[in-house]
Structure 1
């Protein structure tokens, strides 16, 4: 069960967002890289899901300052096509729908399109936090919105991030304030404390980054002997970080994947865009719903008032189910938003 935590509490940054992606460890996923959305031509920085044909993502930023992050949740009505447990279309396509929207489309235009066109239907349950990080000012920030397939009209769409000094959290459930899930309450508290420490001690960005990763490592997952997979899944709302778990067969699947990957690259590396497009067209879909489940990737996005973006991803497992030593799977990409203050 993924978690996204966001804050406007650090005076040096317009926004700080940190995210744990909890997933089947063997789900094929690229490392973050720049790619061009077709047909809009928008430049997007994100990792990409190599399993679903949409090649979507759970978190991404644009060269133009757009930002989006998604969490999913399980619907309860198995016979309701508008609220499918697992939809025909990938949830990850919701992220790229905003990042790849035409430049002239405002956030309100996007909300209206998503709801009027019923684009939020026919996919599994999700919440999409999205907005434009370019339009910022010292005395306030443009709000982000949270679109889900439980929204029926724009008036039901929550708006967050419009005030300084606020911290927000969302996991695999609909957004609510105050939060009720223990992992969200714990995550928000830890993020607030971390930012306060960073301000009090005037920590550098590198020092802040390490402390933000520490927030994402907070592990309070209750584990009892012989817990079933369902019991594990029910316990996931307790912990920010999810250490990998599985039954005997699932760990055997992990060992087999590691053995089969001995002569292969550790990650699904994509060196340039032409390679990206070719691989995304031809890569075979595999069955990823096997092996262990847990926190697979951790991502930080920091945006300062000058439009400088730090995008940091920490991989905890390689593409073949081998654990990655802390810090050895880090990738940091920095860039400046085009026309931040225009």
Structure 2
């Protein structure tokens, strides 16, 4: 499970994002790098800053450095007492990792460095169904996207979670689109619940909201380290016992940061290591519009932080 914390009313930053990726340690991924890709609309070059999930070939987070569009995807999970939240239910569904790339590469303006990217072209449910009809065949997700312009950072959320099997319901009705207005919705916490529902069952959401209230008052000189201090807050005890998958899903709802856990699926003897593998912090300067992107590896402690700034690529 993962979490995304966002703040839009810091006095020095129009947007601050803190993204924790909780994942199986054994699942291989490439760290963040600038990747030379192609826009799907006109085949023009696109410089995309993102990590890559080696299993699916997609990503969970990225920024188009030319259009300043960003996108982050999180999965949706329920406890295993939901009979439809299981491997059989998800069998044959498409990877979520393609969704951020669709956001980042679906630019039909080809505008450079002006904060006027493609997020407006995917500003409704209808836009998505027209652009990517297979979206309703995708594994359940929360997708957050928008552009990182310095003046205003209004965001979009697209969410898909069916309470029935994908073959027995019209999933078009299950696809929901929401807007986050940066003037009114100054803090937001998004995790693995169906967006805007079942918040009381996810204590980590309240913990994130309280932390963002602290972040609002943090001085600029300490902003990155404060973000990482928040990202590594854990309320979980040191677990030395092996957890079942169901126990793990229930436990991780209670903490922003997930320390290393040993987990065993009920139908698989393999024991996996699970926890918060990486943290990515993104800030947008209110004064200059500069974007700072920092990735920290929480597992391989010898790996240095990766730091990127928008001005580096102009």
Aligned residues: 281
Aligned residues: CA RMSD: 3.2
- Alpha carbons of structure 1 residues 79 and 314: separation in structure 2 relative to 1, 3 Å: closer
* Cα pair 1:7 1:161 within 8 Å, conserved: no
Please state whether the residue corresponding to 1:228 is helix, strand or coil. strand
In structure 1, how many angstroms separate the alpha carbons of the residues matched to 2:72 and 2:91? 19
* Cα pair 2:242 2:262 within 8 Å, conserved: no
In structure 2, how many angstroms separate the alpha carbons of the residues matched to 1:131 and 1:212? 21
- 1:67 matched to 2:70? The reply is yes
* Cα pair 2:69 2:119 within 8 Å, conserved: no
Could you tell me which residue of structure 1 aligns to residue 307 of structure 2? 332
* Cα pair 1:309 1:337 within 8 Å, conserved: no
Normalised to the residue count of structure 1, the TM-score between the two structures is 0.73
Normalised to the residue count of structure 2, the TM-score between the two structures is 0.79
- Alpha carbons of structure 1 residues 79 and 3: separation in structure 2 relative to 1, 3 Å: closer
**Structure 2 counterpart of 1:192, from 206, 213, 221:** 213
In structure 1, how many angstroms separate the alpha carbons of the residues matched to 2:102 and 2:83? 26
Please state whether the residue corresponding to 2:262 is helix, strand or coil. coil
TM-superposed deviation, 1:120 = 2.0
In structure 2, how many angstroms separate the alpha carbons of the residues matched to 1:47 and 1:24? 16
**Structure 1 counterpart of 2:59, from 12, 35, 57:** 57
**Structure 1 counterpart of 2:102, from 76, 79, 97:** 97
**Structure with greater proportional strand content:** 2
TM-superposed deviation, 1:132 = 1.6
Can you give the 5+ residue segments of structure 1 that lack an aligned partner in the other structure? 254-288, 319-323
TM-superposed deviation, 1:17 = 0.3
* Cα pair 1:65 1:337 within 8 Å, conserved: no
- 1:146 matched to 2:157? The reply is yes
Can you give the 5+ residue segments of structure 2 that lack an aligned partner in the other structure? 110-116, 162-170
Please state whether the residue corresponding to 1:187 is helix, strand or coil. helix
TM-superposed deviation, 1:89 = 2.2
Please state whether the residue corresponding to 1:56 is helix, strand or coil. coil
TM-superposed deviation, 1:223 = 5.9
